Structures are given as C-alpha cells and as structure tokens.
Amino acid sequence: MRRPSKSQLCAGNGSGRNQPTAKRKAALASTRVAAADLMGVGDQLAIPRLDGVPLEHRFSAGELASITLAQTLLELDIAIAEDWVAAGHDPRAYILKTLDCWIAAHGGESIKRRFDLYVTLTDCLDGYVEGNEDNPDGSRLYLTIDADKAGYVVFKPTLELLDQTHPRAPATFFQLFAGALNNWVRVYDYRDAQDRVATLCDWIEGEEDQDQYEIPNVEGSIPPYMNRRQIGRRGLRKVAYQAKKKQVRAILTALLELSEISDQAKRPELTDEMREELCDTNPALPSLLAVFAQNDAIEGCFDEEAQNMMEVTPEPSVIIPLNALDRESVLYAFRTLGVVCETLAAASKLIDIMPGNEQGVIKREEAGNGGPSQDRE
C-alpha cells in the first residue's frame, strides 16, 4: 500500500499531555488514505504546512472516483484551477491541495494556536483494515478529524471577571463554550473528572483499606457559581450589551459568535456501516482540556486517564461521510468541514482574549521530540 499523504492544519497545543496518536497514524499509513494533518509546527488543527512532508502525496481511491471528485471540487468553486499545475496534473494531489486550502480559508491560522488536530480523507474508518470490499470503486469516502494532543484552557480568571458583572454569567459562559465545541470535538472538563472519581470509588468499594486511596477532590475545584442557573444566549447577549467593562463585552461577544457558528451545521450521524467499522475503537481523544485553575484536580484526573487513552485505537473526533461521485454529497461534506474549522478558529480566538491563558499557545518551532513546543509553565 502507498503511504498516505498528510498536510498540516496547525492549531496550538494546550497541555500537550494526551498520548500522541502515533499508533493511529501508523495504521493509516497502510490504508487507502489521503490525510491532511491540520498541524503547523505543532500537532493541532491549524494551517496546512508542507514542512517536512514528502513532496509526493497519494491516496488510492478508485481512479474514476479521484478524477470525478477533483472535477466536482473545481465546479463547486472549492478547488482552484491554477492548483492543477502545481499538483502535477495528479487528481489525488489536487484534492489534497484543495483540502489544505479549504482548511486555511476557514480559520487554519487561528486554529493552530490552540488545538492539535489533523484531518484525513479516507475510504476506511478502521486504520487496520486494508481496503474495503463493499467500496470497490473507492467512491465512499470520509473526512475525519482526530486529536493528536489536547489543547488547554483555564477558565477561573474569566469566570471571576464575569461573576462581577452578572451572578449567572459564569455558568452560562462555561456551558455555552463547552457545548459549542462538544458539538464537534470532545472537551474534557469537570464532568469527565466527576465520572473518573465515581469510577474510582466503585473500584475501591468494599475494600478494607479504602482510606489509603487518594481520591481527587474534583468538587473542591469547581467554583460555587457553576451551580447557578443559566440565562442562555439571549440573556448573555443582554449582559454583554449592558456590561461596562470593554473586556467583558469582548469576551461575551466572542463567545456568542462561537456558539452561533457551531450551530451552522449539524454533526453527521453514524450509519450502521460506520458503527461496524468502529466497533473495536475507544472513544475519541479529547481535543481540549478545560480546567478552572492550572494543576487542579480536573487536570489531575485527565493526566491519569490519558495514560490509557491509546490502549485501543480511538475513533475520530468528527466523521463526515461523502460520495466522491455525488456532487451534493461533496458540497455538504466540505461545507460541514468549513463549519468545524470556523468553530475551532472562533474558540481559539476566544481563548486568546480570556485572562489567564497567555501560556497556552503553541510556539512555531520544533520541540526536541519532533512535536510542537508550548509556551506554558
């Protein structure tokens, strides 16, 4: 099998504590795939880059499917005619270049600061299966988004600022933020940590030496205003309009924009065939770790869980099916990918203006381990 091509869509890595998806990438290398690593110097969903990427890219969808898809992308004004020469008159390379440009046009430069994701165009969701007998012409494809490491965001300074403006704004802000991203990618937050604690308590229940186990104090890490009733987007828009502080208005305006962008498309539902291909996978890796304070109990739970997240290949964070021979299917898939990218870009921009997150940006330089370095103490 030919090695799959990759193009990087950079988005900054936050904590950088997730186990890298090397196993999944290695598996993809043996399948019929065209991968677009949406990572820059880092690993996260960001602008496509060619640094260190082989000059030739291939994916082995059927020849007819490749040619038809390339032509359809051009007719839909998704692809650029001039790129045909740059792609060496190769429909597969042309598709990959188009995917790179599409990501860049929908917020790649912003995404790469805070996220660590990559996009793959493949005809097989199971990275360990070579080929698919039910898809002989290679026309059934999937655009997938996978997390390589988790981004990182600290909420407490922002929530304390909002608490001074309106008592119900902090809880509303957090839930709208997490909800907008969870529409597409997985956010690990205090609710996941609570589930982790519940699991640990179940494990030690009935043991004689229960007191010797150290259970993370997740509840103590959750600010009291998180239990207050929410006011929704309409209420938060009113708070933003009436806020006296410019910083508060900017933060709330950016959040509302994020929430509205996320709702512009609906996450594709998994078909029975897709579920069958994913039956032996783990849940998707978190794309973002949301903590209230650095090194709190939530981050501790995440660090412990991260040790086992790659024991079994995780399923992709997002799966967008498309039929290379169906014009409407191709248009839907790329539009959906555009919404996902714009959602991540809006989240990245919001994190940039949230106080307390100055240290969570991926630097544009190679770290010693070949991955992105992160400006975080």
Instruction: State how far Cα 170 lies from the chain centre.
Output: 24
Percent of the chain scoring above 70 in pLDDT:
75
Rounded CA separation 328/334 (Å): 10
User: What value does the mean pLDDT take over residues 204-231?
Assistant: 86
Kindly report, residue by residue over 27-61, the tens digit of the pLDDT: 333 333 344 544 333 333 333 444 444 444 344 44
- The confidence score (pLDDT) of residue 64 equals 82
Q: Any residues with CB less than 8 A from the CB of 221 and at least 6 apart, and which?
A: 190, 193, 291, 292, 293, 296, 297, 298
CB neighbourhood size of 111 (10 A): 35
Assigned token pair, 321:
């099916």
Q: Where are the beta strands (DSSP E) in the chain?
A: 33-36, 116-122, 140-149, 151-154, 187-188, 288-291, 318-323, 361-366, 372-375
The DSSP bridge pattern shows strands 288-291 and 187-188 to be parallel
| 241: pLDDT strictly greater than 60 | yes
Q: What does the DSSP 8-state code read for residue 40? A: S
Q: How far is CA 177 from CA 72, 171, 174, 253, 255, in A?
A: 35, 10, 5, 12, 7
| 74: pLDDT strictly greater than 80 | yes
Rounded CA separation 15/18 (Å): 8
| 250: pLDDT strictly greater than 60 | yes
Q: Which residues pair with 154 in a beta bridge?
A: 291
Kindly report, residue by residue over 146-200, the tens digit of the pLDDT: 998 899 999 999 999 999 999 999 999 999 999 999 999 999 999 999 999 999 8
3-state DSSP assignment of residue 343:
helix
230 φ, ψ (degrees, to nearest 5): -85, 160
